[in-house]
Amino acid sequence: MASSLENLESQLELFAENVRQIHIIVSDFQPQSQNVLNQKLQALVHGLQEVDKLKSQVQDVHVPLEVFDYIDQGRNPQLYTKDCIEKALAKNEQVKGKIDSFRKFKANMLLELSKTFPNELNKYRALRGDE
Amino acid sequence: MMMGDQFRKVEQYSPKSSPRGARSPVVSRQDSSGTLKTTILLGKNPSIVPSGPFYLLKEPPGESDLTGATNLMAYYGLEHSYSKFSGKKLKEQLSSFLPSLPGVIDSPGQQDNSSLRSVIDKPPIGGKDILPLTSVQLDGFRLHPGPLPEQYRYANQAPIKKHKNKHKKHKHKEGGPPSQETPVSEVGPDTHEKKHKKQKRHDDDKERKKRKKEKKRKKQKHSPEHTGGGMTPSQHGSN
């Protein structure tokens, strides 16, 4: 998959370079540049054909739509990855905190219940087994 | 399906033939976590009797290796990615990610109708083959010699947004901050203050006008002659 993405990337880079060269030709056009321009335009169409051929190789690549919002705002898409990782880490810490709090609560509750209801708690511990 | 199977099993274990008498058959369930331990008694007085010494005692959920208490970054092998993204300072602009892409790409896509979202919302009509251009079609690309018209020349560069400052200055001219305004009712010793403040404002306006003129002169020096219909370039000679 990495090679197919690299192929697509290099094809797109060639396409963008072709477009840039067309822009240079057109920005100050000379009659003798007409043939070169025609060649570049055919190369443009060929580039689109090549990109179209590569689409089958990257069909398994799923891109989250939120990344498109970052790109549309002119922002670095790596910031999306960074934001995702940071959010996941924050959520992980939050859930771990909850689990640890509930564990402490359970331990305290068992302790207090064993002081108040020792017989019942013995029955409970016998039912639950190793807990 | 599950219900059907249970009904079939119940028919096999009818109360008449059941070894457990009028009590419900023991049906093994795959996941019994969170279920109440009860016994259903059939017969003259059918009832549901909670079994066990504790009321509403449920079976605990099964132990899982992967919980929120686990360090998921380490579990999924993302520590390197995390240190890579959090360690170095990532630049905000899209151009830092795609440095080789020509043109201005840091501006929002909605400005020049080049957003990816528009492609998703309104996908282009496809399905046709991409064919090379014919000679007739290429004739449509015969261009006139010479440089591009002014309005298309600097399409690659972002226009300078100076109207913000102008608006601010314009607002400052018209109203002025309310704290500086003197009340009309105060007369006598405050008239001197009023005159002083008016002079100050007058001086400030003069200075602002001077600065504007200087900026215009600088622009005219650096920019080519403009007809007044196009964008003012921020850079020149880039292409």
The pLDDT assigned to B228 comes to 43
Distance from the A31 Cα atom to the nearest Cα atom in chain B, whole angstroms = 6
The pLDDT assigned to B17 comes to 62
Across A38-65, average pLDDT: 93
How far is residue A42 from each of residues A18, B28, B136, measured CA to CA in Å?
10, 71, 13
Measured between CB atoms, which of B53, B108, B146 is closest to A73? Answer: B108
| ipTM of model | 0.73
pLDDT of B70 higher than 50: yes
Q: What is the dihedral of CA B121, B122, B127, B129, to 10 degrees?
A: -120
User: What confidence category does residue B59 fall into, taking pLDDT thresholds of 50, 70 and 90?
Assistant: confident
The mean pLDDT value of chain B amounts to 69
pTM: 0.57
**More confident call, B208 vs B115:** B115
Task: Indicate whether B207 pLDDT > 80.
Answer: no
Helix axes A78-116, B79-87, angle to 10 degrees: 120
| Chain-centroid distance, C-alpha A27 | 38
Q: Which of the residue ranges B32-36, B79-83, B127-131 would you say has the lowest mean pLDDT?
A: B32-36
Cα-based angle A26, B116, B230 (whole degrees, multiple of 5): 40
pLDDT tens, residue by residue, B15-33:
566 566 666 666 665 666 6
Cβ–Cβ below 8 Å for B142 and A41: no
Contact A71 B116 (CB under 8 A): yes
Q: Which residues of B touch A16 (CB under 8 A)?
A: 100-102
| Sequence spans of domains, chain A | 1-61, 63-131
Q: What is the pLDDT of residue A14?
A: 94
Least confident of A15-19, A25-29, B64-68, B190-194: B190-194
Report in angstroms the alpha-carbon separations of B61 from A110, A119, B33, B122. 18, 25, 5, 47
User: Which of B12 and B159 is assigned the larger pLDDT?
Assistant: B12
B143-157 tens-digit pLDDT: 989 888 877 776 555
Cα within 13 Å of Cα(A52), Cβ side: 12
Residue B98: is its pLDDT beyond 70?
yes
Query: In Å, how far are A100, A124, B150, B194, B225 from A130, measured between CA atoms?
Result: 19, 11, 82, 87, 88
B116 and A72 in contact by Cβ < 8 A? yes
3-class DSSP string for A107-127: HHHHHHHHHHCHHHHHHHHHH
Nearest CA in chain B to A121: B54
**Residue A26 contacts by C-beta under 8 Å, 6 or more apart in sequence?**
A37, B143, B148
Question: Phi and psi for B119 in degrees, rounded to 5?
Answer: -70, -35
Stretch A98-115: mean pLDDT = 95
State how far the alpha carbon of B105 is from the alpha carbons of A49, B29, B49, B102, B194, in Å: 24, 59, 71, 8, 51
- Asked if pLDDT for residue B238 goes beyond 50, the answer is no
| Sheet strands (E) in chain B | 38-41, 47-50, 146-147
**B127 pLDDT tier (thresholds 50, 70, 90):** confident
Give the chain A residue whose CA is nearest to the CA of B100. A13
Q: Which residues of B touch A26 (CB under 8 A)?
A: 143, 148
List, in order, residues 6 or more apart from A21 with CB less than 8 Å away: A40
Query: pLDDT band at residue A100, thresholds of 50, 70 and 90?
Result: very high
**Lowest-confidence pick of B35-44, B55-64, B171-180:** B171-180
Cβ neighbour number for residue A76 with a 10 Å cutoff: 20
Q: What integer pLDDT is reported at residue B234 of this predicted model?
A: 42
Residue B109: count other Cβ atoms within 10 Å of its Cβ: 20
8 Å CB contact of B239 and A79: no
Task: Determine the pLDDT at residue B188.
Answer: 46
CB neighbours of residue B13 within 10 Å: 16
pLDDT of residue B111: 80
- Burial label for B220, CB within 10 Å (0-12, 13-18, 19+), is exposed
Q: Which two tokens stand for residue A58?
A: 């990257």
In one letter, which amino acid is B66? L
Chain B residue numbers with beta carbons less than 8 Å from the beta carbon of A96 are: 68-69
Q: How far does chain A reach from its first CA to its final CA, in angstroms?
A: 47
8 Å CB contact between A77 and B109: no
Query: What percentage of chain A has pLDDT greater than the value 90?
Result: 83
A122 vs A115: CA distance, rounded Å: 11
Q: Which is more confident, B207 or A85?
A: A85
Rounded-to-integer distance, Cα A29 and Cα B143, Å: 7
* A positions 4-33 inside 8 Å of B (CB): 13, 16, 19-20, 23-24, 26-31
- Which of A37, A73, A117, A121 should we substitute to test contact with B (largest number of B Cβ atoms within 10 Å)? A73
Kindly report which listed range (A53-57, A125-129, B136-140) carries the lowest average pLDDT score: A125-129
